[in-house]
A and B are shown apart, each in its own frame.
Chain A
């Protein structure tokens, strides 16, 4: 018996009449790793923005398990259990790697509840776990601003993991990475598989083949096709939509 972790019901947004995302309905099951594919401008990042509350949708609803989180504020959505990793990696550059993870591990959203010098044992433990998972232990005392591009991506991923979110939204987690770095990211994701429900937007097909079970293809703001990798590769509409360009695969 599977449970729907995230349900998008006819989600859409229009910018001055232009429908960047148009009536997208997707159900993502608990523990699933879903890859969202699509050409530039297909609306993938906007979809992430809608789920995480960065952009307010103009139609449709978002459910996290049974909770309707449509139009919640960003920090409420994050607290409800949706962690978002940005396309351009963003970390706290003037703080040490460990401090980055510590901040992420704090459990309450407001200023007064955090007016304490103590960190809970659970929070400390999660920081250590994240350091281990991302392999950033040796860099723990360095400033995050001094990390390489790949390490920055892992740190951001680590920050999300310390929060133990129900759902991870990853926007191009391997963008700009070397092959070795991509490989390590794959390992991290495979380690997380099953513990979290994960949605990945990616272009790198080698990576997609390695991690994906189920794929959603977007085109012009709409869902074009959905299925496992073989189905998608054979799908006529997908071929048609990408015919003329190199194709998506």
Chain B
């Protein structure tokens, strides 16, 4: 029965991946771009499920990693944007730096303002991509090492992550000359790798997102099936027991915290490619909690459940928002859904699906057993 369930689980993953890979055949470019955004959110769902469902770490600051990833690639794409040239500069310099430049200062990244030299390496898209993955992971590593070595757990981890995301958001806002403050990075160029241009409305970009999500899902699921994945779940259930069985608890927590941050950072980069902006709003508390809502509705204990939860909520939200009067009403529905899911469906859609399958399998195997019994009673008579 365990094996059957594992096979069903695999089938769900394969069907889902097939669906998202086939979607471009049925959608025109505007819808495709929108779906790509949702898939990015789905990836965030996976990141949340990995840390919350599997590691028991409720990160209320996942937006920090998403935002860092987004800003890193956003800086590269900003420098690829023609807008700076349009402002009369010969070298790529962000337009907002030109607007705020001291009269007479040299319009070059080296010294247009105090920190602008930090932007210089971002002229390479590869550097932006590398930093988009490295920075969130490194921040998570630093934060995780401190927190988990100190054996901080439960709600305190949530509070620290929450404080961190709000802290970084304020720092980014405050570093206005470097980051364009509240406005964030807009008017971005198109990511170009080799000969390939990732135009946000192209099928190429969609495939980039869809394949990234598929790979994330598969790798994530494999990760949870490794011995480390099992030990991680054991730590979630009872970290003391795990410790006295001889496991270095904090190393597991840090590793999966980083993995979750890496996924979120990568998702942030994809989002910048698809949505063409990076803004401090990625690091608002409400966005980080919204991610948790997606995972809760889809099922915190299942990577694909959380992913589908994110897709589902966003699809509904978008279709509801077509009618302006319903936009505010939608928030009521989201609030209500959240309360009801926590009260009556703590394992979300995936949990519901799992228990329905269990019951079906039980009935099925029960019938099979009866049939076998009937068979064996028949045989002697023949």
Which residues of A pack against B, CB within 8 Å? 52, 54, 74-76, 78-79, 83-84, 86, 90-95, 99-100, 102-104, 106, 109-112, 114-117, 119, 141, 156, 159, 163
Contact = CB atoms under 8 A, between A and B. Distances in A.
The contact size tier of chain B is 20 to 34
A75 B252 CA distance: 13
B99 interface: no
Interface string B223-265: 1011110110110111011111111110110110000000000
A144 to B, nearest CB: 8
B231 A115 contact: no
Given A74-B244, A78-B244, A78-B245, A117 B233 contact: no
A104 B238 contact: no
Given A75-B243, A90-B240, A103-B245, 20 more contacts: A74-B244, A76-B246, A78-B246, A83-B244, A83-B245, A94-B236, A95-B233, A95-B237, A99-B230, A102-B230, A103-B230, A106-B230, A109-B246, A110-B248, A111-B252, A111-B254, A114-B227, A114-B228, A119-B227, A163-B245
Contacts, number: 93
Interface of B: 1-2, 222-223, 225-228, 230-231, 233-234, 236-238, 240-249, 251-252, 254-255
A79 B226 CA distance: 21
27 contacts: A54-B244, A74-B243, A75-B244, A75-B248, A78-B245, A90-B238, A92-B234, A92-B237, A92-B241, A93-B238, A94-B236, A103-B230, A103-B245, A106-B227, A106-B247, A110-B248, A111-B228, A111-B251, A112-B228, A112-B255, A114-B231, A117-B222, A119-B227, A141-B1, A141-B2, A159-B245, A163-B246
A124 to B, nearest CB: 12
B248 A109 contact: yes
B248 A95 contact: no
A83 B247 CA distance: 12
Contact of A104 (B245, B249, B255): B245
Nearest to A120: B227
A60 B299 CA distance: 50
B252 A84 contact: no
A171 B130 CA distance: 52
Contacts of B237: 91-95
A110 B196 CA distance: 41
A94 B226 contact: no
Contacts of B222: 117
A157 B228 CA distance: 22
A129 to B, nearest CB: 17
A115 B248 contact: no
Name the residue among B241, B242, B245 with the largest chain A CB count within 10 angstroms.
Answer: B245
Name the residue among A91, A106, A111, A163 with the largest chain B CB count within 10 angstroms.
Answer: A111
A42 B246 CA distance: 28
A119 B230 CA distance: 12
A7 to B, nearest CB: 21
A92 B233 CA distance: 8
Name the residue among A74, A99, A100 with the largest chain B CB count within 10 angstroms.
Answer: A74
A86 B226 CA distance: 27
A109 B238 contact: no
A111 B255 contact: yes
Q: 8 closest Cβ contacts across the A-B interface?
A: A78-B246, A92-B237, A114-B227, A114-B228, A79-B246, A111-B255, A90-B241, A92-B234
Nearest to A156: B241
Contacts of A111: 228, 231, 248, 251-252, 254-255
A159 B243 CA distance: 13
A48 to B, nearest CB: 11
Contact of B231 (A76, A94, A103, A163): A103
A227 to B, nearest CB: 30
A201 B228 CA distance: 33
Given A103-B245, A159-B245, A91 B230 contact: no
A115 B2 CA distance: 22
B234 A103 contact: yes
B153 to A, nearest CB: 15
Name the residue among B223, B226, B241 with the largest chain A CB count within 10 angstroms.
Answer: B241
